[in-house]
Structure formats: structure tokens, C-alpha cells
Amino acid sequence: MKIAISTSGTTLDAELDKRFGRAEKFIIYDLDADTFEVIDNAQNLNLSQGAGIQAGKTVANSGAKAVITGHVGPKAYSTLGAVDIDIYFAESGTIQSLVDDFKANKLTKATGPDKDGHW
């Protein structure tokens, strides 16, 4: 199974990017193969609207079935929800530590957006 983590870096030491829609990048981690790829999200940083939707599209197209991030707004939440991608919240951490936390079921699943749009 693949999971997507919003991040500012490109390695397993990279930090969590707490924003989803306007995260700098996503690391898509393959839990079965323990490999990962980096997807750039720069094109969404300057969007006037719909960043959450576009990021959701990016994540859905990557094949990830879950997302780890800091916060999601209402459109990101509904976009990911439409294709049954679960969202897990984390405060901070490196990609490696978040993957470990996910495997150990330590992360809280989101039941709704936790921020208004354009927060």
C-alpha cells in the first residue's frame, strides 16, 4: 500500500509540511516495497483557489491510499474522501518517523477538515 506525506524535502529525513494543499512536495511511500518517490507540488503554491482539490488530485493519481499531513481544509477533505483516501494528522516528524508511526497505528485519522478554506 502507498501513503502520501506532505513534506518540504526529498529524503526520508525530510520534515512534515503541515499544509496539504500548498505543501511543497509529497513523498509517496510504498509500505510493501519500502521505496518512495517525490512528487513536486509547486504548481499549487500560487493558485488563487482550489489548491486542496489539485493536491488531492495529485495524491489520488499517485496511487496512495492514505495521506499524512498537518491540516486539511474542506475541499481537500472532500476531494480525498470522494476516492476513499484516508487522512491522518501529525504534528511534526521526519518521513521515516511518520512511516514508522503509521505502521504502528499511532496516528489519528481525520473525521473532517480541521481548517477553513484559505487558512
Partner 1 sequence: MKITLASGKGGTGKTTIATNLAYLLSKDKEITLLDCDVEEPNAHIFIKPTWTDSYTTYLPIPKVDMDKCIHCGICGDSCQFSAIANIGDKVLTYPELCHGCGLCMMACPTGAITEQNREIGTVELGHSGNIKMAHGKLRIGEAMSPPLINAVKKHASEDGITIIDAPPGTSCPVIATIQESDFIILVTEPTPFGLNDLKLAVGMVREIGVPMAVAINRSDLGDNAVKEYCEEEGITVILEIPNLRKAAQNYSKGHLIVKEMPELEKHFSGIMASIEKELSK
Residues lying near partner 1 in the complex (CB under 8 A) are found at 47, 49-51, 53-54, 56-57, 60, 75, 78-79, 82-83
CB of 11 or CB of 49, closer to partner 1: 49
- Is the CB of 50 or the CB of 70 nearer to partner 1? 50
Residue with Cβ nearer partner 1 (14 or 85): 85
Give the C-alpha separation, 40 to 19, whole Å: 14
Q: List % helix, strand, coil for the chain (3-state, nearest 5).
A: 30, 25, 45
CB of 81 to partner 1, least distance (A): 10
Secondary structure (H, E, C), 86-113? EEEECCCCEHHHHHHHHHCCCCEECCCC
CB of 100 to partner 1, least distance (A): 28
User: CB of 47: closest distance to partner 1 in angstroms?
Assistant: 7
Which residue has cell 488531492?
56
